């Protein structure tokens, strides 16, 4: 058997790096789930109990100043619970596990549209089966990161998303009107994640004031050697 060429050695190193990155990404998602569980078990339950106790105290109190203070405290607790729910859905949306990629994407863009007042349209093709969990997570995280970038651009007027499956590849295309590529935005993680999973990422201008972000990942992840 002949000695390995430089090209073979490079391919082997790239495969090792890809495997390591994939493992790191999977570990990060496991850590997100652990954080969510901790928030639900500890912080969430404590805030819920506090809200209930304040309601009981409010009913028993007959002094107006105290009632006003209790009401303010209840509003703060309610706001904290709302913020906690948002953090949990951002870290790892329940729909991604229970329902799949498209429902999770729908919830994500609804929150984006509501918080930014930007028009958002989704055209999604639905597979008759679930994608590999790693692929679903990678597509969803890439979408989150692009939307977070767009959230910082006050000139964005409309966002269009397309999800297509062509020749065993899933394509997530995000078109944003009213924004050009920000010079200080680094999409290294999106690109590295896509490459590690055997896919690719591209960003291109559209028309005069628009930008298109495309993430392509294989529908069926290759088995590790």
pLDDT computed for residue 24 by the predictor: 61
6-25 tens-digit pLDDT: 445 545 554 555 565 556 66
At the top level of CATH, the class of 94-218 is alpha beta
99-128 tens-digit pLDDT: 888 988 998 898 899 888 999 999 998 777
160-187 tens-digit pLDDT: 999 999 888 999 999 999 886 655 566 7
Mean pLDDT of the chain: 76
pLDDT computed for residue 75 by the predictor: 78
Domain boundaries, the chain: 6-91, 94-218
3-state secondary structure the chain: CCCCCHHHHHHHHHHHHHHHHHHHHHHHHHHHHHHHHHHHHHHHHHHHHHHHHHHHHHHHCCCHHHHHHHHHHHHHHHHHHHHHHHHHHHHCCHHHHHCCHHHHHHHHHHHHHHHHCCEEEEEECCCCCCCCHHHHHHHHHHHHHHHHHHHCCCCCCEEEEEEEEECCEEEEEEEEECCCCCCCCCCHHHHHHHHHCCCEEEEEEECCCEEEEEEEEECCCCCCC
Is residue 143 over pLDDT 80? yes
Is residue 140 over pLDDT 80? yes
């Amino acid at each position: 058997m002949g000695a390995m060429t430089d090209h073979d050695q490079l391919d082997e190193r790239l495969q090792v790096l890809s495997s390591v990155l994939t493992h790191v990404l999977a570990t990060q998602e496991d850590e997100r789930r652990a954080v969510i569980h901790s928030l639900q078990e500890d912080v969430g339950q404590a805030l819920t109990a506090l809200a209930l106790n304040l309601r009981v105290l409010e009913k028993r109190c007959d002094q107006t100043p105290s009632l006003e203070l209790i009401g303010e405290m209840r509003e703060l607790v309610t706001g904290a619970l709302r913020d906690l729910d948002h953090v949990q859905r951002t870290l790892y949306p329940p729909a991604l596990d229970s329902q799949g990629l498209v429902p999770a994407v729908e919830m994500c863009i609804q929150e984006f549209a509501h918080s930014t007042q930007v028009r958002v349209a989704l055209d999604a093709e639905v597979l008759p089966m679930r994608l590999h969990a790693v692929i679903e997570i990678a597509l969803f995280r890439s979408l989150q990161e692009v939307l977070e970038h767009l959230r910082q651009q006050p000139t964005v007027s409309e966002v269009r998303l397309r999800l297509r499956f062509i020749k065993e590849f899933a394509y997530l295309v995000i078109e944003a009107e009213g924004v050009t590529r920000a010079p200080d935005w680094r999409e290294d993680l999106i690109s590295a994640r896509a490459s590690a999973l055997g896919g690719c990422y591209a960003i291109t201008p559209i028309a005069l004031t628009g930008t298109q972000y495309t993430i392509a990942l294989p529908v069926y992840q290759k088995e590790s050697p």
